[in-house]
Amino acid sequence: MHAKSTVIATGGAPQLHTLNDSPPIVTGDGYAMAYRAGAELIDMEFIDYQVLTAAPEKLAGYPCYSTGLLGGGGHLLNGLGERFMKNYDPERMEKTTRALNTRAMAIEIFEGRGTEDGNIHIDIRHVFDQINQGPGKSIVTTLAKNGIDLKTELFEVGAAPHTYLGGVRIDEWGRSTLEGLYAGGEAAGGIHGANRLGGLALIDSYVFGLRSGIAAAQESKTREAPDPEGGNWRKGIEDLTERAECTGKGPSALDWRKEVQDLVVESIGQVRSEERLTSGLADLTAIKNQFDDVDNSGKTIRQRSDFLRQTYETQNLIEVARMLGTAALNRKETRGGHFRIDYPEADEKNFLGNYVVWQENGNCRTELRPVPGRDAVGPPPPGEHSTSFDALPQDKKNTETMA
């Protein structure tokens, strides 16, 4: 990027998991770009998981309004038909926190009590009429159109990433640790900590999207334009052109993506342990080494272009998985969206802080740092600016209010 200021607003990395609720192009590209550029990232081990439809396949990833279904009296059942939440929160059962529900689901599957397809069932048969007369009606209708009658049948769900809580380490104005590089929204990390409250993901996008944009614009006025030949970009174009013209002898782009996703779910996913994380990180290196052999051939230019893009996106996902796995391996405790089955309790004495990761000589480095105090405030950008709603142009403000 040849710019005085660059803002990364690329979202999270949900495609690290086979089951997710995001578009297929949200592949952690901003995390990987910032990492390769030398910026620090923070809290990469923390993920906010959500209950998503797992079957039928065409509905996989569909948000099933689990809050309404479970809050309305629905039950979570494992593959043995057991209402397993009694083992995790016997008082609140399925009406516990989303984090505990999804963690319990993951543990049941991990310990071999999932469905035949490795999922969990939701049962609302006993409260069908109440749910069908409320906000859950749309889910009932959608599933019925796809062959699932919730009045008489169970349906399969899984726990999947909804929000990545880690990302590029920023200050209050979206500045990263690299001059001229900013981040906002889910691409930025450290805003929520180990977990977040419902509804705050969009708020942090609005807040830090605006603030990073203001800082990037204002501070660009004080910088010299970068060297147009800097960054060795011509060599990058040559490599990309060469790659586009050759055919690999290894896995297809889609198969390579699936291999990474399966590895992450199995070894670096929601249920973590030292053995699984260590093994997963080693396997990541082996998979990464397949990059030059991935087959990007296709019948048309568009197909070849899509496969080439997916290959580079998967390479970014591997970098994100390495950051996630490295931080998770070092955090030997359970906290928020990070669960270690071999360290199931929080350890305030040794791990109350943020793991920061960065790239050094091609390796992923990490360090536990104290949580910044309230006096650790970055200076505001120069010039006149305002983050007040009243500072918006009147026509812009009226349009947003109506929306």
Among candidate residues 127, 160, 193, the one where a domain is terminated: 160
| Average pLDDT rounded to a whole number, residues 79-102 | 96
Model pTM score:
0.92
C-alpha 215/C-alpha 375 separation (Å) is 20
367 bridge partner residues: 356
Asked whether residue 276 is assigned to any structural domain, the reply reads yes
Q: Which of 21-25, 214-218, 366-370 has the lowest mean pLDDT?
A: 21-25
Q: What is the pLDDT of residue 365?
A: 97
357 bridge partner residues: 41, 366
pLDDT band with cut points at 50, 70 and 90 for residue 401: very low
In this structure, are residues 64 and 157 in contact, taking their beta carbons and an 8 Å threshold? yes
The set of long-range contacts for 350-355, using a CB threshold of 8 Å and a minimum separation of 24, is: 354/42, 354/43, 354/190, 355/42, 355/43, 355/44, 355/45, 355/327, 355/330, 355/331
Q: What is the pLDDT of residue 392?
A: 58
In this structure, are residues 327 and 312 in contact, taking their beta carbons and an 8 Å threshold? no
Q: pLDDT per residue over 28-63, tens digit each? A: 999 999 999 999 999 999 999 999 999 888 899 988
Q: Enumerate residues 6+ apart whose C-beta is below 8 A from 133.
A: none
Among candidate residues 305, 324, 343, the one where a domain is terminated: 343
Q: pLDDT per residue over 179-210, tens digit each? A: 999 999 999 999 999 998 877 888 888 899 99
Q: Which of 218-232, 277-291, 331-345 has the lowest mean pLDDT?
A: 218-232
pLDDT band with cut points at 50, 70 and 90 for residue 266: very high
Which domain CATH number covers 89? 3.90.700.10
| Average pLDDT rounded to a whole number, residues 143-160 | 94
In this structure, are residues 265 and 161 in contact, taking their beta carbons and an 8 Å threshold? no
Q: Does the structure show a pLDDT above 80 at 248?
A: no
Q: Which of 52-61, 120-129, 387-396 has the lowest mean pLDDT?
A: 387-396
Structural domain of residue 142, as residue ranges? Answer: 51-160
Which domain CATH number covers 332? 1.20.58.100
182 bridge partner residues: 7, 175
Identify the CA nearest to 7 among candidates 183, 167, 240, 256: 183
Q: Does the structure show a pLDDT above 80 at 389?
A: no
pLDDT band with cut points at 50, 70 and 90 for residue 403: very low
Structural domain tally of the chain? Answer: 2
Identify the CA nearest to 31 among candidates 156, 137, 183: 183
Q: What is the pLDDT of residue 393?
A: 61
Q: Could you tell me whether strands 120-123 and 75-77 are parallel, antiparallel, or unpaired per DSSP bridges?
A: antiparallel
Sign of CA dihedral 14, 15, 21, 23: positive
Asked whether residue 227 is assigned to any structural domain, the reply reads no
Q: Does the structure show a pLDDT above 50 at 316?
A: yes
Asked whether residue 379 is assigned to any structural domain, the reply reads no
Asked whether residue 88 is assigned to any structural domain, the reply reads yes
Asked whether residue 105 is assigned to any structural domain, the reply reads yes
Identify the CA nearest to 266 among candidates 250, 284, 244: 284
pLDDT band with cut points at 50, 70 and 90 for residue 298: confident
Among candidate residues 123, 143, 160, the one where a domain is terminated: 160
Q: Does the structure show a pLDDT above 60 at 398?
A: no
C-alpha 200/C-alpha 209 separation (Å) is 13
The pair of structure tokens assigned to 214 is 């203001």
Asked whether residue 76 is assigned to any structural domain, the reply reads yes
| Average pLDDT rounded to a whole number, residues 242-251 | 83
C-alpha 27/C-alpha 288 separation (Å) is 15
Asked whether residue 200 is assigned to any structural domain, the reply reads no
Asked whether residue 64 is assigned to any structural domain, the reply reads yes
| Average pLDDT rounded to a whole number, residues 278-301 | 93
179 bridge partner residues: none
